[in-house]
Chain A
Amino acid sequence: MKLLVPVKRVLDYNVKPRVRADGTGVDLAGSKMSMNPFDEIAVEEAVRLRERGVATEIVVVSIGVQQCQETLRTALAMGADRAILVLTEAAPEPLAVAKLLRALVLREGPRLVVLGKQAIDDDMNATGQMLAGLLGWAQATFASRVEVAAEADGGTATVTREVDGGLETIAVALPAIVTVDLRLNEPRYASLPNIMKARKKPMETLSLGDLGVDVTPRLTTLRVSEPPVRKGGVTVGSVAELVSKLRSEARVI
Chain B
Amino acid sequence: MAAGSVLTFVIVGRDDHPIFEADLTSKASEVVNRDDRAQYLHQFVLHAALDAVDEQIWTTTNMHLAQVDNFNQLRVSAYVTAAQMKFLLLHDGKSEDAIKAFFKDVYEVYLKVMMNPFFTPNTQITSPSVHQRIRAIAKTQLKA
A binds B: no
